[in-house]
Amino acid sequence: MAIELQRRGEKMMESSICSSELSPEEERLLIRDIVIAAESQCKEGDTFYLITQRWWQHWLDYVNQDMTTTTNDGTSHGSENYELAGSSALKRPSGIDNSDLIYDTKSEDSNIGMELHDTLVEGRDYILLPQEVWKQLFMWYGGGPILARKVISSGLSQTELSVEVYLLRLQLLMMPKGERATIRISKKETIRELHRRACEVFDLNMEQISIWDYYGHRKHDLMNNMDTTLDDANIQMDQDILVEVLGNGNDTAFGGCLSSVQENGSVEKESTSVLVEPSKSSLSIAGGLSASKGVSRSCSSELSQSQYVASPVGEVDNSYGISGVVTRGASGGLTGLLNLGNTCFMNSAIQCLVHTPEFARYFREDYHPDINWQNPLGMVGELALAFGELLRKLWAPGRTPIAPRPFKSKLARFAPQFSGYNQHDSQELLAFLLDGLHEDLNRVKHRPYIKSRDADGRPDEEVADEYWANHIARNDSIIVDVCQGQYKSTLVCPVCGKISVTFDPFMYLSLPLQSTNTRTMTVMVFASDGSALPAPCTVTVPKQGRCRDLIQAVSSACSLKIGEKLLLAEIRGHRIHRFLEDPLVLLSTIKDDDNLAAYKTPKFVKNTIFLQLIQRREEQESSSANSAMIWKPYGIPLVSPISRDDTITRGDVQEIVHTMLSPMQRVETLTPSDLPNRRVSEEASHPSRDVSSSGACANSAASDSTDEDQGDSKIAATSKLPLQLVDENNECIDLSTGEKKVINLSSSSTSIVVFIDWSDKLLEKYETHYLENLPEVFKYVPATKKARTEPLSLYTCLEAFLREEPLVPEDMWYCPQCKERRQASKKLDLWRLPEVLVIHLKRFSYSRSMKHKLETFVNFPIHDFDLTNYVAHKNSSRRQLYELYALSNHYGGMGSGHYTAHIKTQLLDENRWYNFDDSHISPINEEDVKSAAAYVLFYRRVKSEDVSVSNGAQSCAGQNNISSQK
């Protein structure tokens, strides 16, 4: 059928050199046939063309002006529907003019070319046409400019087809020159292509540069996996990319010029909006714009037969591209929000707030008397006015989807972090909105200064009421009335036992998703006596454990011998950053992307000093072909203890290094002289000192051998290793000569640093790949469908949030009794619950080089969420029951994702759940509300009769419910 239609179309195209020879009806039929043929062959890589909605609508009117259409139900729509200019015939359109889709002038950056307006919406501003349709229209009418876009795969399974309307716009920063350039590139292009484009822009060679993910002006990841796509690398719209020209021998090229760059930044990075939820149609729009069902992106036959070439004028303008519930003419509250370009996060958050009954009632009445125009912490009332106006529009009957541009403008003005068209976090926006609306609507015009008193043994009820009264005296708004609660915070000093109790307000609860109290950690284990090859060891330890727990677990896992102990070290920049010798160091100070090494060493008694062996290889000093070769550190350092009481010669160091490397020596190169006996060493107790820069010992010292060195050698000259020792004066000593010379050990030094220079010839003798890469403490792997995590109860998350835990070092507490800052333990209890309880599920995790999302399915109750057992204040006779009425969902991962909202509305005396997906609204069943995408939950207190909460009732209402949820 498709082939037949295609041939028919080709035949008509051959017989129609220009459109002037065809009637409007013939044009319509020809385009219809081309569409039917094209839709059956839609695939990844196909080209679609943008055409302005204004011109397209003119053409639709022209070809349909003399047509009587028949709908599916048999009703006729006469030509009166197309009576646009009285009884006169509509004129044939002039040439295609897409100028309203692009900026007036060409971008000053020649690397970009024509730029689309940032806020274009499909169906309102433009239509996407298959290539064959565009070619035919262009042949007939001409015009332009030509705006071609490719079909790409998207979604969780990468099987959904999307037209990538907005290519990634990346800001390239070349250092050290500081030059900048902007490029457009598809998210499906590889990092190799990004390297090529950067070289083209800055006139460089591929070998000259390193490229970094430079989000927030901090180095995150070195982009050196050339076959990875930019989508998989989590590269976002308008992101900064660092193009680093290779430098002059430092670990980081041009390190001096980039001194302000923080390589271990933890700036929260948001994701670009891409529809990943199963779509109603087979083709969507990539780049964060609204994905509506319609001709411009669907390859279904209904497009070509109805909306595509025979849509009534009155319908196209208002409801084009809206599927599911058409919001035009619907009841108040079922109004969608247009996506302005990656604003699905904002739309999701707004829909949850405007469907909070208390807020809907408040902002639809006269709230202006509450506006605090003089509050220095507020937004001069402008945020409250913008939100109130938007809420009224959304609740007004008979509304089409609304473009929240005025609100977004106010938001960007007072919160620049939400400006532009990158996607952001809906929870962060909610937090800002709740706080900003509170300040704008704070009824307290002049805040009194109130000093909080210590509890001093007073009853909790008295202290809590005092704290709350002090809070209300300074903060009184609709936000406080509805959303704020109070929890009890108990701090205990680990030294003097001082107990401090405070009662603090909260706006929402951020609950952790970890289902256990343990974490897995991977450590690379080395044998300093050369008895085994290096091997990674993964163990399970308490989350709030200490280094002694990790050492004990690794010791058991690697079968540590009697007389041995483990020396734990953190490795950074191919050197030992610190020895973790204090057994009480908290494991929480070790991040998932840190690198740890454990060295098996003998249990000595005293006077131990560590020999640190740092690997080096030869590299060019700069990108110039004539630049010198220098030795630069790489790989993993090795450690061996030696006794300060012993006399250590250069030959002894050669023996020690030979022993450490012996497991990696290739069998065919072994000789009897390669098997020396190790010198006995003694215990270590102090961390290493900082070693010299990468340029230390760059040039070997001159040979200083004497006649006494010509005697019997412990190690044959042919097997001597190219070792360079850095002495206490930071000078280099060549250890390949003067074997019997004694090495002077400083009494204050805790280690000696030795470099081994791996030449190509030496590398042939050893399997050094064991020393090249160190695993991260925890390597995050996204959850797959086959490896889903076990469901997690919301009650379990709440218990984890309320559990007593030690504070991290950054949050040390000042003990008034000790008069010092202490790393105290902290315990939280719910005390006063709000009318609306907002719960944030902490799905996103950030570290220096890793950004990922937890896909854990949380089993949250929709009805009868019972918090009675979790409230420390037991004087109330009412059960604390809540019911879910809204939630913000996040689909997809960090690199590409999409926000929607599930809302339970009370329209027409009907309680029903709806899915709010930007401008698209559709009813859903209650059982479909729960998913692993749930991100922010909105619960409303159940208004019920007072119920006795005796011990038995509490057990029935709370504990049984908890066990059933687990």
Active site residues: 344, 898
Nearest partner of 286 among 299, 301, 297, judged by Cα: 297
The beta strand positions in 665-731, using DSSP E, are 723-726
Burial class (CB in 10 A: 0-12, 13-18, 19+), 674: middle
Residue 957 DSSP one-character state: I
Q: Which residues contact 109 (CB under 8 A, 6 or more apart)?
A: 181, 182
Radius of gyration of the chain (CA): 35
Which ranges of 86-241 would DSSP assign to H, the alpha helix?
131-141, 191-202
How far is Cα 439 from Cα 444, in angstroms, rounded to an integer? Answer: 10
How many alpha carbons fall within 13 Å on the CB side of residue 154? 32
Decide: 805 and 487 in contact? Cβ < 8 Å.
Answer: no
How far is Cα 450 from Cα 235, in angstroms, rounded to an integer? Answer: 48
What single string gives the DSSP state of each residue in 378-403? TTTTHHHHHHHHHHHHHHSTTPPPB-
The token pair at 354 is 């405007």
Region for residue 513 given its phi and psi (left: phi exceeds 0; alpha: psi -120 to 50; beta: otherwise): alpha
Nearest partner of 631 among 620, 622, 618, judged by Cα: 618
- Residue whose pair of structure tokens reads 């196209």 in the numeric block: 316
The token pair at 638 is 């090795």
User: Terminus-to-terminus CA distance in the chain, angstroms?
Assistant: 55
Query: Phi, psi at residue 858, to the nearest 5°?
Result: -105, 120
How far is Cα 260 from Cα 217, in angstroms, rounded to an integer? Answer: 9
Nearest partner of 166 among 183, 186, 138, 142, judged by Cα: 186
How far is Cα 543 from Cα 478, in angstroms, rounded to an integer? Answer: 39
How far is Cα 333 from Cα 399, in angstroms, rounded to an integer? Answer: 9
Give Cα 777 distance to the centre of its chain. 19
Q: 913 pairs with which residues across the strands?
A: 904, 924
Q: 742 pairs with which residues across the strands?
A: 649
Q: 629 pairs with which residues across the strands?
A: 620
What single string gives the DSSP state of each residue in 437-454? HHHHT-S-SSPPP-PPPP
SS3 content of the chain, % helix, strand, coil (to 5): 30, 25, 45
How far is Cα 283 from Cα 299, in angstroms, rounded to an integer? Answer: 7
Preceding amide of 145 cis, omega within 30: yes
The beta strand positions in 774-919, using DSSP E, are 792-793, 805-806, 813-815, 820-822, 825-832, 836-841, 844-846, 851-853, 858-859, 865-866, 881-892, 896-907, 910-917
Q: Which residues contact 406 (CB under 8 A, 6 or more apart)?
A: 386, 389, 390
Burial class (CB in 10 A: 0-12, 13-18, 19+), 85: exposed
Q: 486 pairs with which residues across the strands?
A: 505, 832
How far is Cα 468 from Cα 832, in angstroms, rounded to an integer? Answer: 9
- Number of helices and strands in the chain (H, E): 21, 43
Question: What are the C-alpha distances in Å from 440 to residues 380, 450, 517?
Answer: 6, 21, 41
- Residue whose pair of structure tokens reads 């058991």 in the numeric block: 556
